[in-house]
Structure 1
Amino acid sequence: MQKVIIITGASDGIGAEMARQWAGREGAQAALVLAARSVDKLEQVAAACRERGATVLVRPCDISVQADCRALIEATVQAFGRIDVLVNNAGMSAHALFEQVDDLGWYETLMRINHWGAVWCTQAALPHLKASRARLVAVSSLAGLVGVPGRTAYSATKFAMTGFFEALRIELAASGVSVTIAYPGVVATQIRYRGFDAQGQAAGRSGLDERGAMSVEECARLIIDGTTRRQRDIVMTAQGKLGRWMKLLAPALVDRMALKALNREGAQP
């Protein structure tokens, strides 16, 4: 029986690399459902996965639209009859000092993409996840554990995502569905360059210090390994692990660490 794996945000970055790695590991035993807005990019990822032996369903989906999330799950079940893994990976970045933002409309848009899309997909998939004792994955961020200056909007969405899936994990404990939350730090993708700036436009640059960024290949591998082991949390860097505990013991020090994560080219307050 094939393992049916849904990955949102699969057209690029971490999502695309997870799809390729899962196809490489599982081969013909993998049935991948790749979801994103860009069908052309999805088809390129799908072709690479098919070369590795996987069955692939490409599904255009805007996760900021609840009907699209429901349609994604319905199409998966119609095609394969089950769901074994749901990876809520799709997301968008943002960087702006709060005092520089005039119109908060894009804050709401970001919440729909980063938080509500994952909630809507999970709600639609829940009966099928329980039926197969599946693995449920949320790709959050270190910004969902520690607030980062200039990232009020992004941190808010990721904190919301983290809180939702932590609570849901407890609700699902008796069902056999595992909930894995991944907390990538700075990963070498273009997500921050395409994210919102203070005016809600594409930033065109990263607001974070990109030196020492984790490779997308390593990040995807860590998420897949943790998902396979039904790991609760995947904190990927030593700095992230330290910051998580130091937030309780020395919060002011963690604030200074977060400030140092900013891009030195004028991004800090």
Structure 2
Amino acid sequence: MQVIIITGASDGIGAEMARQLAARGKDVGLVLAARNQDMLDAVAGECAALGAQTLTVATDVGVQDQCRHLIDATVARFGHIDALINNAGRSAHALFEDVADLGWYEDLMRVNLWGSVWCTHAALPHLKASKGSIVAVSSLAGLVGVPGRSAYGATKFAMTGFFESLRAELKGAGVSVTTAYPGVVATRIRHRGYNAQGGILGSSSLKEDDAMPVEECARLIIDGMAARRREVVMTAKGKLGRFLKLIAPGLVENLALRAVSDEQKPH
């Protein structure tokens, strides 16, 4: 049985990955982690109906002890771990000059970066034993700076650096590390992100017209994990932006500014 942990599995990309993994094969054990137990149970029910064995573990990845508990609970139930998908995260949009209290910057870093680090650290001995896979769901904002996304971008750039270094460290251990870089995906994550005051945005700060369907995003991540790819950059614009950043960084900044909705642009 292939045992896969997915954090942030109660909604959005994480829930869709769980459903697709359950549909791909019956010999799979899915460990679904997020803060909302009721939503986790609903996703687990869908996966079980598709033939998967499931375990739900209510987890706030911003708390190290809860990350350790997630891994311990997985091993207690299934005996091993084949893949860890670090998907849990929170969004934010605020101009740096508008932020009075930077405390929520720390909270965001704790969830987006440290949650992935803590889960990976606890799972690593088991993943080395199985020669398994680690997936980090970053963002195009972890490759190119976007106006108003200084806090979010910092967490995602940090994820990029951490998992790139970890990939090199694990090169001889048989553990693959795949970093995924979604662009704008049709989920509610941006609506629930932080605003400048540390409250809830309530709406998206980005242009959503060309948002990628969540089903496509989840499929690309799963395919990347299965092929043990180093990176999954999901859009043509993302691939182009990454290249242009090397030769025309000013142009990339202008393109990033265009991605922000008019009411959220710098004053």
Amino acid at match of 1:7: I
Tell me what 1:71 maps to: 69
Q: How many angstroms apart in 2 are the aligned matches of 1:200 and 1:261? A: 22
Tell me what 1:23 maps to: 22
Q: Does 1:98 align with 2:106?
A: no
Tell me what 2:159 maps to: 161
Identity of aligned residues (%): 66
Q: How many angstroms apart in 1 are the aligned matches of 2:196 and 2:204? A: 13
1:233 is displaced (CA, Å) by 0.3
Tell me what 1:202 maps to: 200
Q: How many angstroms apart in 2 are the aligned matches of 1:26 and 1:221? A: 14
Deviation per CA, 1:152-205, whole angstroms, max 9, x where unpaired? 000000000010000000000000000000000000000000000000001001
Tell me what 1:267 maps to: 264
- TM-score, with structure 2 as normaliser: 0.99
Q: Secondary structure at the match of 2:147?
A: coil
Amino acid at match of 1:10: A
Amino acid at match of 2:204: S
Q: How many angstroms apart in 1 are the aligned matches of 2:261 and 2:224? A: 30
Deviation per CA, 1:67-97, whole angstroms, max 9, x where unpaired? 0000000000111111001000000000000
Q: Secondary structure at the match of 2:238?
A: helix
Q: Does 1:56 align with 2:54?
A: yes
Amino acid at match of 1:255: E
Q: How many angstroms apart in 2 are the aligned matches of 1:4 and 1:263? A: 40
How many residue pairs align between the two structures? Answer: 266
Pairs within 5 Å for 1:83-232? 83-232=81-230
- TM-score, with structure 1 as normaliser: 0.98
1:26 is displaced (CA, Å) by 1.4
Q: How many angstroms apart in 1 are the aligned matches of 2:24 and 2:264? A: 40
Tell me what 1:11 maps to: 10
Q: Secondary structure at the match of 1:111?
A: helix
Amino acid at match of 1:267: Q
Q: How many angstroms apart in 1 are the aligned matches of 2:229 and 2:219? A: 13
1:127 is displaced (CA, Å) by 0.3
Deviation per CA, 1:86-141, whole angstroms, max 9, x where unpaired? 00000000000000000000000000000000000000001000000001000000
Q: Secondary structure at the match of 2:24?
A: helix
Q: Secondary structure at the match of 2:6?
A: strand
Q: Secondary structure at the match of 2:191?
A: helix
1:6 is displaced (CA, Å) by 0.1
Q: How many angstroms apart in 1 are the aligned matches of 2:142 and 2:250? A: 17
Q: How many angstroms apart in 2 are the aligned matches of 1:166 and 1:254? A: 23
Deviation per CA, 1:48-83, whole angstroms, max 9, x where unpaired? 000000000000000000000000000001111110
Q: Secondary structure at the match of 2:218?
A: helix
Amino acid at match of 1:248: L
- Structure 2: segments with no counterpart, 5+ residues: none
1:263 is displaced (CA, Å) by 1.0
